Amino acid sequence: MSDIKSIAQIKQEFEQSGDDKEALYVQYAGDSRKGVQNLITKYQKEAQKLVKERERLETMRFFEHKYSEYHAICGIDEAGRGPLAGPVVAGAVILPEDVEILYLNDSKKLSAARREELYEEIKEKAICYGVGIASPERIDQINILQATYEAMRDAIAALMPAPDLLLVDAVHIPEVETKQVGIIKGDAKSVSIAAASIIAKVTRDHMMMEMDALYPEYGFAGHKGYGAAKHIEAIKKYGPCPIHRRTFIKNFME
């Protein structure tokens, strides 16, 4: 009996085996212990989920494959067009061909914890990435749409190597000579745009957390500057702070 492996030892074997667990399934198929059979069931389900996830990611490479004659395909997206406070941030990302970043998706469809994990993985695996930021003052000066375009151009300019094709979420960026392909809801249809959306979103969220420490009465850590009821109440009570967009909050001011 001493030669029989414990369930903990078998679990360690499964954990160390990587993606190829078929030999272990066969080896322990005849083990009648419930704990062992539960382990087999668990890892088989995880394998099935991984297959589905890789299939989903492959559908998100449609545009990258369609334009595969281009060598530096850049996804671009923004975060923060709608808030009452804080900057608008653009992300631009060039990924290696067929890079695997599991669970990559539109940033809005991900939990904050998942976004943070992917943010680090994207920065590690990307060929390059860039960030562009337009301040609240700039937004008030030239309007949010033009400020967004400006942030996107800055993000593109930060890339090295320079892209030869831009995949953009829905819009066409003016004053950019590089070929652009606009994709409606592109952050859910292109791995490159999804990566850019995460870079933009997490960068902006980090900035708003820093602003929360400076202006705690507004609750920026919770709503990130968007028009939550508590945020509007705070504007009415305390007035605007330096990062509020004056053109966005004029209806709340007496």
Judged against a pLDDT cut of 50, whether residue 162 lies above it is answered with yes
Question: By C-alpha distance, which of 197, 6, 173, 46 is closest to 110?
Answer: 197
pLDDT of residue 16: 84
Taking the C-alpha atoms of residue 132 and residue 204, their distance in angstroms, rounded to an integer, is 10
Give the tens place of pLDDT for each residue, 55-68: 999 999 999 999 99
The per-residue pLDDT for 2 is 47
Q: What is the pLDDT of residue 254?
A: 61
Percent of the chain with pLDDT over 70: 98
Q: Is the CB of residue 58 less than 8 Å from the CB of residue 223?
A: no
pLDDT band at 1 (very low <50, low <70, confident <90, very high): very low
The more confident residue out of 36 and 18 is 36
User: What whole-number distance in Å separates Cα of residue 225 and Cα of residue 215?
Assistant: 11
Whether the predicted pLDDT of 159 surpasses 80: yes
Q: What burial class does residue 142 get, using C-beta atoms within 10 Å of its C-beta: 0-12 exposed, 13-18 middle, 19+ buried?
A: middle
Q: What is the CA radius of gyration of the chain?
A: 23
Q: Is the pLDDT of residue 21 over 90?
A: no
CA distance 10 to 40: 10
* DSSP class of 61: T
pLDDT of residue 213: 97
CATH code of 63-200, in short, is 3.30.420.10
Element (H, E) at 168: strand 165-169
Which residues are CB-contacts of 221 (< 8 A; sequence separation ≥ 6)? 208, 209, 212
In a 10 Å sphere around its CB, with 0-12 CB exposed, 13-18 middle and 19+ buried, how is residue 7 labelled? middle
The domains of the chain are located at: 7-59, 63-200
The number of beta carbons lying within 10 Å of the beta carbon of residue 22 is 11
Q: Is the pLDDT of residue 5 over 80?
A: yes
pLDDT of 24 > 80? The answer is yes
Q: What is the pLDDT of residues 99-155, one digit of tens each?
A: 999 999 999 999 999 999 999 999 999 999 999 999 999 999 999 999 999 999 999
Residues 169 and 180: beta-carbon distance below 8 Å:
no
Burial 209-241 (b: 16+ CB within 10 A, else e): eebbeebeebbbeebbbeebeebeebbeeeebb
Percentage of the chain lying above the pLDDT 90 cut: 81
- Among 153, 108, 252, which residue's Cα sits nearest to residue 85? 252
* Average pLDDT score over the chain: 94
Does pLDDT of 46 surpass 90? no
| Residue 223 near residue 235, CB atoms below 8 Å | no
Phi and psi at 77, nearest 5°, equal -155, 170
